[in-house]
Amino acid sequence: MTTHLSTVPELTGRTALVTGATRGVGLAIARKLTASGADVLVNYAEDEANAARALAALAGHPGRASAFKADVTEGIDALCNEAQRRFGHLDIFVHNTSYFRPSPTLTTSPALVDRSLAVALHPLLTGALRLAKLMAGRPGRIVAVSSTGARRVVPRYAGAGVAKAALESLVRYLAVELAGHGITVNAVAAAKVDKGDGTVPPEVAKAITARAPGGRLTTPEDVADVVSLLCTVEAGWLQGQVVTVDGGLGLVAG
């Protein structure tokens, strides 16, 4: 029997909101979602020029992209209002925003940890009920972008690592409470990401690449691909999971 596969992008007709989406991993996620047919509201906090460049990069895809400026640490009511105004509902929410300032664990200040926690937790803690209303009657998808530093010790990463660990815990709690609404809540934990901007020191890249089964670092596109998978209808029975995107790096003994 011949199976005829649809040529329509798999997220056609879906609407999405992605935080921190004008560069790096966030932009790659927005690109993947629009390429898959979703209309995406791109959130950014400050840089207007960067937002304009992001929208230009997303032009020409099956899904449409638009931008909205808002600080998610103050809550996501403004973003939800904009999503409702533009779309009337919401299918996908990707929480990609994070806060990281390198610091050895023994000299990491409570203020730095508090800031990291606020950025990691506030959007979902303050926005879950509103998101549930926007997703009512739809196969809603909430995906949080985490890091393998939530479970493994990364040098000078304590503040962000603690925050990501808390975020993964929150994902599990929200997954249980929102499952009855037809909404899945999952996380994607990325290994060290090569954004192509030179921020990964050569010696670090060399050390990781030498251990990685695939012989390279994780890319923003690797993360975006898995986020997109979690947004599909077929992922509807995945709930409260943390999917590691590292090409098998975590399987290799240190």
206 in active site:
no
Rg (CA), the chain: 18
Using CA atoms in the order 8, 218, 25, 117, what is the torsion angle rounded to 10 degrees?
A: 130
Tokens encoding 52: 């304009």
Task: Dump the DSSP string for 140-199.
Answer: -EEEEEEEGGGTS--TTBHHHHHHHHHHHHHHHHHHHHHGGGT-EEEEEEE-SB--SSS-
CA 250 – CA 230 distance, rounded (Å):
21
- Of these residues, 32, 44, 157, 192, which one is catalytic? 157
| H or E stretch at 24 | helix 24-35
157 in active site:
yes
Q: How close are the terminal C-alpha atoms of the chain, in Å?
A: 48
CA 175 – CA 254 distance, rounded (Å):
32
Contacts of 210 (CB under 8 A, 6+ apart): none
- Of these residues, 32, 44, 99, 164, which one is catalytic? 164
Active site (catalytic) residues: 157, 164
